[in-house]
Amino acid sequence: MKQQQERKSVQIMTQKAINDTNKYRKMIKLLIAALLLLILLFLTGTFCDRTVAETLFSPDNTFIKVITSTGVYPIYAVQVLFYGALYERTLHSSKSKQFKMVICTFFILTALFLGFNGGKTLASRNNLGEIFPSFIGNLPVIIIISAILEYPLFFIGYFYAKKSDDKLLTQRIFGLFIVLLFAFISMQVMKNFFDRPRYRTAVLGYEGITFVPWYKPFTGAEKYVAAYGINADEFRSFPSGHSIFSSLSTCIFPSLAWLFPKLKNKQMQLFVAGFIFCIIIMFTRMLLGAHYLSDVSAGAIIGVLSSIACAAIQLRISQKIT
């Protein structure tokens, strides 16, 4: 009887792994199709950025400002959530007490940092701070946002990881984290390499600050910041950070199925939801004049490439038990 139960358990796990590998293969194909679409949009933006920006520009739409602020939320939220899961896995592992204490402390501190950073980003001038300027750099507001929207996710991650029987959960999470880190570093490098005035700044009539294609060097950003009192961030239009973060939802949303039982068989729907979310955020960034079409499509290309890498990693992990 016991052998039959063990054999049945192995069969169930094997079938689940086969289903997962099929889903990740299909996801990779869809991501490649999305990548081709984004490349087409990027090429269109390269030649038509100014026309598209002039057509869409609607800077005073409060509803759009609220929507666009959500674009940065998933990348911080999912990390806090999964650090709670990693804490649970480590705490109940067979490792030594000293090892568990060190690693669990690291997970807690990292989750606190990411949660605070997420709150700070949500309150920044490119997000809710655009609607409520008093939020920008306001420590009590940042703490409140973090306490409501970020930190509870750590406990949710801990609770659901405790109920999960996925023996590869830790590997899956670290695979996702590696991809998110790569995307974040890529964004920082590119934003510091390209100086491009945002459209909303280019239309204000400052002498020397006009529309500049992404491929043409723009010089003197520091001079204009000092001369006109403009925030340095106004010269970091290319690529769009919101688009990078929101396009990562194509791997972030499906990853929720690792923890939540009701989402187990809905990874493809979560993937589609992530892509739709990305398109919405891209559109809102252009409406607000924060980015051009080439900016948002370039950002989404980085995010989708990262998601392809994530799906490939998850495919490899799932194949371990087939």
Q: What is the pLDDT of residue 192?
A: 85
pLDDT along the chain (322 residues), means of 10: 52 62 92 97 97 95 95 97 97 92 97 98 95 96 98 98 91 96 93 92 93 92 92 95 97 96 91 96 97 98 97 89 57
Q: Buried (b) or exposed (e) across 7-23, using 16+ Cβ within 10 A?
A: eeeeeebeeebeebbeb
How many other C-beta atoms can be found within 10 angstroms of the C-beta atom of residue 42?
A: 20
Q: What is the pLDDT of residue 56?
A: 96
Sorted by sequence, the CB contacts under 8 Å of residue 15 that are 6+ apart come out as none
245-262 confidence digits (pLDDT tens): 999 999 999 999 999 999
CA–CA distances in Å: residue 285 to residues 55, 219, 224, 297 = 13, 24, 23, 11
Q: What is the pLDDT of residue 10?
A: 46
pTM of the model: 0.92
198, 187 contact by CB (below 8 A): no
23-45 confidence digits (pLDDT tens): 899 999 999 999 999 999 999 99
Spatial distance between the Cα atoms of 261 and 80, rounded to a whole number of angstroms: 19
Q: What is the pLDDT of residue 133?
A: 95
Which pairs count as long-range contacts for 206-212, CB under 8 Å and 24+ apart, including other chains? 206/230, 211/49, 211/50, 211/53
Q: Which residue bears the tokens 């239009």?
A: 237
295, 65 contact by CB (below 8 A): no
